[in-house]
């Protein structure tokens, strides 16, 4: 495969890798849904999201559904590229590719 491989320490932190993996499967995921799937607290998830946001990997949009304010998270194209590259590098390390 001609995919890029690149180890990314920012993504490698356990919770962040899982955040990216989850976000990669959908267009957008709500903050609370992501929190429940990862089984972490609000504050822990917020902290990681902030780091990923600052790196430009994750985009946060607030929208209202039926008067309820919700925070939606999605992977930016840069974030998706970095995540894919990181997973490919992990695969290379375990000798899979």
Partner 1 sequence: MKENEVNITAEQAQASLDAVRKINTDAVETQRPPWWFLILSSAAYGMMSFSYSSMKHENTWAVGLIISGAVFFLLFLFLYYSYRLMGIKLKMWPTSKSSTHIYAIYALLFGVVFAGARELTVVGFDWVAYAGGAICAIGFFTMTYLYPTGEPLNTPTSKQ
Q: Which residues bind partner 1 (CB under 8 A)?
A: 3, 6-10, 12, 14, 17-18, 21-22, 24-30, 32-33, 37, 55, 65-68, 70, 72, 74-75, 77, 80, 82, 84, 87, 89-91, 93-96
Cα 40–Cα 21–Cα 64 angle in degrees, nearest 5: 65
Question: At closest approach, how far in Å is the CB of 43 from partner 1?
Answer: 19
Of 17 and 60, which CB lies nearer to partner 1 in the complex structure?
17
Site of tokens 């929208």: 63
Residue 26 or 44: which CB sits closer to partner 1? 26
Minimum distance from CB of 63 to partner 1 (Å)? 10
Q: Which residues of 34-61 are buried (b: 16+ CB within 10 A; e: fewer)?
A: bbeebebeeeebeebbebbeebebbbee
Q: At its nearest, how many Å lie between partner 1 and the CB of residue 89?
A: 7
- Give the number of other CB atoms < 10 A from CB of residue 73: 22
């Amino acid at each position: 495969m001609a995919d890029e491989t690149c180890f990314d320490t920012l993504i490698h932190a356990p919770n962040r890798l899982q955040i990216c993996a989850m976000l990669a499967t959908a267009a957008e995921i709500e903050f609370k849904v992501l929190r429940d799937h990862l089984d972490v607290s609000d504050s822990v998830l917020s902290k990681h999201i902030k780091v990923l946001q600052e790196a430009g990997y994750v985009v946060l949009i607030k929208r209202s559904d039926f008067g309820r304010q919700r925070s939606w998270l999605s992977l930016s194209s840069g974030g998706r590229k970095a995540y894919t590259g990181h997973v490919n590098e992990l695969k290379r390390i375990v000798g899979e590719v």
